Amino acid sequence: MQDVRSAIAQRLHGLRAPARVTPTRSDATAVERYWNRHTVQARDFRSARASRRYLEWRFREYPLFREFSGLWGAHDGEVVLDYGCGPGNDLAGFAVHTRASRIIGLDVSQTALELAARRLALHEDARDRVELRRVGDGDPSIPLADGSVDHVNCQGVLHHTSHPQAILAELARVLRPGGTATLMVYNRDSVWFHLFTAYERMVVEGAFAGLEVEDAFARNTDGAECPISRCYRADEFLAVCREAGFEGDFAGGYLSRRELRALESSWARALADDRLGDEHRAFLRELVFDFRGYPLYRGRHAGIGGTYRLRRA
């Protein structure tokens, strides 16, 4: 059988450094093993057009995702790092929609990197601009020089890692002074946490018996066997970001269609149900809605996709 790295190299015809996609190590952590088996929304695409259409589908599926993430932004001549690139959604977007000079995708999953490599091979815009590199969950170091990156994109990754604070410090290290970052971690002040998980799943369905709501949330996001899945309040995550060397703000939590369905079907019912805990009922009482019907909690949108717009101090 042909070596995996050689096969990827032949397929990509100019995608930079595909040989750095290396096999799963025997000492892989539980996080690495899980994400090699479970790759979020992963599929092979038959054409560049299908790949681009999928990017637009994601924006439709997650209201406010486009606005909060700022994808794709203006990155002319810049080096963009996508930490936890997965199967290449954002890598493809940066390649197609920006003039970034260099786009680097890092991930712990061999499976995801191979999917990304095949997808990027469809896009002429990716050739000679995109690099794929494998990183480890047990070792938070990033194989890039100090100040060598202009913009960091990290969507839905840090909350699954063993050492999020150390990774944040590494992201700040490789980012040039004044460089920017957009990070998404799961939002505790969200409809997903307080209504979908705490009420629909735990109270109505009786799921996750005996678990605290934080543990139930962890099992109710990316699979029941996902080894790590955290959520953060904005103030606590911003404090961690500042300690790592960032400054910035919380944009809000973009929404999933599942959260909007939960609001429509269960919000009033949950408020009237004595089985729901006081913390969750207080959250639901404080919700207000914008002109589109999207929920806000204390002035910020209350979706699961907690998004932070940062810069290196």
Average pLDDT of the segment spanning 68-81:
96
Q: Is the pLDDT of residue 5 over 60?
A: no
Query: β-pairing, 300-301 with 295-297?
Result: antiparallel
DSSP secondary structure, 194-209, as one string: IIIIIIIIIIIS--ST
Residue 279: how many CA atoms within 13 Å on its side-chain side? 10
Q: Is the pLDDT of residue 219 over 50?
A: yes
Residues 96-135 have pLDDT tens digits of 999 999 999 999 999 999 999 999 999 998 989 999 999 9
* 84 closest CA partner among 197, 178, 172, 160: 160
The answer as to CATH 3.40.50.150 being correct for domain 4-187+225-256+299-312 is yes
* 246 closest CA partner among 158, 159, 289, 183: 183
C-alpha to C-alpha distance for 117 and 165, rounded to whole angstroms: 29
Q: Using the 8-state DSSP alphabet, how is residue 23 labeled? A: P
Bridge partners of 134, per DSSP, are 107
Task: Give one word for 184, left, alpha or beta, with left for phi > 0 and alpha for psi -120 to 50.
Answer: beta
The enclosing H or E element of 181 equals strand 175-186
Where residue 220 falls among pLDDT bands split at 50, 70, 90? very high
pLDDT value of position 27: 73
pLDDT value of position 26: 53
pLDDT value of position 230: 97
Where residue 310 falls among pLDDT bands split at 50, 70, 90? very high
Q: Is the pLDDT of residue 8 over 80?
A: no
